[in-house]
């Protein structure tokens, strides 16, 4: 093939039959298709079940759901994912949820995450009095599992 034939092929652009998948979306369809947001599509990356927004979850339902989630934890990834999800809400999880989370941390043998649970509580509560109430409530379990608080391990940093 001569060099002029190659230049003509390049100048012509892609063939309409070979590169058909790369055609641009027409303006009339631009708002109708968003890649990755198709319901029931394999393009979605989330493995969680979509929640209906017409039902407002009560605190009791939230507590029961996360207690069940933490009871089923089998590895560190699941534990940390559930903790991130639980602490992402605009509330502090109940002590029963935290008990389930601490027991799950012990079950998967993850001491650092158990310590981080208390750091998460400290970040979520409004004042030190509330944090102290959580510490008092969870003290027997902390002693049973041998969980030391960060402020006990590094007292000079907590000043």
The percent of residues above 90 in pLDDT, for the chain, comes to: 55
Please tell me which residue, 4 or 74, carries the higher pLDDT value.
Answer: 74
Mean pLDDT for the stretch of residues 4-15: 59
Burial bucket for residue 22 (CB in 10 Å: 0-12, 13-18, 19+): exposed
* 52 has pLDDT over 80: no
Ranges of H-type helices in the chain: 3-12, 59-71, 76-87, 95-107, 111-124, 128-145, 150-153
* 56 has pLDDT over 80: yes
pLDDT for 5 equals 62
* Structure token pair of residue 59: 């605190």
pLDDT for 46 equals 44
Assign 37 a pLDDT band (cuts: 50, 70, 90): very low
**Do the Cβ atoms of 69 and 83 come closer than 8 Å?**
no
68: Cα separation from own chain's centroid? 17
The whole-model pTM stands at 0.65
Q: Which fold has domain 59-153?
A: 1.25.40
pLDDT for 157 equals 75
pLDDT for 12 equals 61
Mean pLDDT for the stretch of residues 20-45: 48
Please tell me which residue, 56 or 117, carries the higher pLDDT value.
Answer: 117
**Do the Cβ atoms of 105 and 113 come closer than 8 Å?**
yes
């Amino acid at each position: 093939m001569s060099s002029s034939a190659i230049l003509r092929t390049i100048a012509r652009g892609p063939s309409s039959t070979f590169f058909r998948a790369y055609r641009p979306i027409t303006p009339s369809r631009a708002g109708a298709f968003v890649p990755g947001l198709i319901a029931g599509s394999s393009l979605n990356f989330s493995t969680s079940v979509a929640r209906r927004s017409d039902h407002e979850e009560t605190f009791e339902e939230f507590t029961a759901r996360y207690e069940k989630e933490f009871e089923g934890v089998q590895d560190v990834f699941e534990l940390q994912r559930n903790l991130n999800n639980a602490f992402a809400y605009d509330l502090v999880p109940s002590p029963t949820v935290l008990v389930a989370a601490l027991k799950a941390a012990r079950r998967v043998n993850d001491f650092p995450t158990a310590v981080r649970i208390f750091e998460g509580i400290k970040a979520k509560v409004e004042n030190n009095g509330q944090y102290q109430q959580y510490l008092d409530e969870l003290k027997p379990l902390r002693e049973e599992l041998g969980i030391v608080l960060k402020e006990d391990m590094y007292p000079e940093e907590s000043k």
